[in-house]
Chains A and B, each alone.
Chain A
Amino acid sequence: DAKTTQPPSMDCAEGRAANLPCNHSTISGNEYVYWYRQIHSQGPQYIIHGLKNNETNEMASLIITEDRKSSTLILPHATLRDTAVYYCIVGLNAGKSTFGDGTTLTVKP
């Protein structure tokens, strides 16, 4: 599975959009990009995933570049409850993929 690179930490003001980047330059053509988040001492929570097209659901939007080498998770109106570690993983199947260190997002009032 492809390796991902994420910034270790980011801050965001409450009510503003949080844009979390992820680089996956070695992604294969049939590998998906998955995003999960983990609030302290809880299990990871599925957020969104995509293959080529941009995706949106009730939680977030996923923007994947045309060359698929990077993506951005967008939380449109961040709240304090969105403070968590966000994992970007790439693979054919989430279960086979490696969860790296992720990005610690801190939403500040």
Chain B
Amino acid sequence: KAGVTQTPRYLIKTRGQQVTLSCSPISGHRSVSWYQQTPGQGLQFLFEYFSETQRNKGNFPGRFSGRQFSNSRSEMNVSTLELGDSALYLCASSLVGWTREDEKLFFGSGTQLSVL
């Protein structure tokens, strides 16, 4: 059974640009969550999608957005990139997500974004 796939693995952008990251969840999983990980802030929750709807959102500015497609694949977009957006962006999939107790998350390997 294939795991969570994130593309691209590495990305270099300059300030002001925008970026789109992709996440393919485990087959059958309908919930996709996105996280930002930096050395100083640790793992921070961005948003969670289920059945193409954003159900939960973390405390990030509107420059960070996402969407989910009917096949559960998800993308996140960051517009007007800032130096502080340099981070490892992780997505995680689960069967039904946050509404169910005892739910395990399965993470992808992440996209390492560097903003110059």
Chain A interface (Cβ within 8 Å of chain B)?
30, 32, 34, 36, 41-46, 49, 51, 92-96, 99-101
Q: Give the docked Cα–Cα distance between A46 and B104 (Å).
A: 7
Contact status of A95 and B94, CB under 8 A, knowing A32-B101, A43-B109, A44-B107: yes
Question: How many Å from the CB of A38 to the closest CB on chain B?
Answer: 8
Q: Given A45, A51, A93, A99, which contacts B103 in the complex, CB threshold below 8 Å?
A: A93
Set of chain A residues within 8 Å of B75, measured between Cβ atoms: none
| Cross-chain contact B106 with A95 (CB below 8 angstroms) | no
| Cross-chain contact B110 with A41 (CB below 8 angstroms) | yes
Set of chain B residues within 8 Å of A46, measured between Cβ atoms: 104-106
Of B48, B56, B107, B108, most buried by chain A (CB within 10 Å of CB) is: B107
Interface size on B, residues (CB 8 A): 28
| Cross-chain contact B92 with A95 (CB below 8 angstroms) | yes
Set of chain A residues within 8 Å of B103, measured between Cβ atoms: 93-95
Contact status of A43 and B33, CB under 8 A, knowing A92-B101, A93-B100, A93-B101: no
Set of chain B residues within 8 Å of A45, measured between Cβ atoms: 107
Q: Give the docked Cα–Cα distance between A46 and B48 (Å).
A: 18
Question: How many Å from the CB of A37 to the closest CB on chain B?
Answer: 11
Task: Enumerate 22 A-B pairs (CB-CB under 8 Å) in ascending A order.
Answer: A32-B101, A32-B102, A34-B104, A41-B88, A41-B112, A42-B109, A43-B4, A43-B108, A44-B92, A44-B105, A46-B105, A49-B104, A92-B101, A93-B98, A93-B102, A93-B103, A94-B94, A95-B31, A95-B92, A95-B98, A96-B98, A99-B43
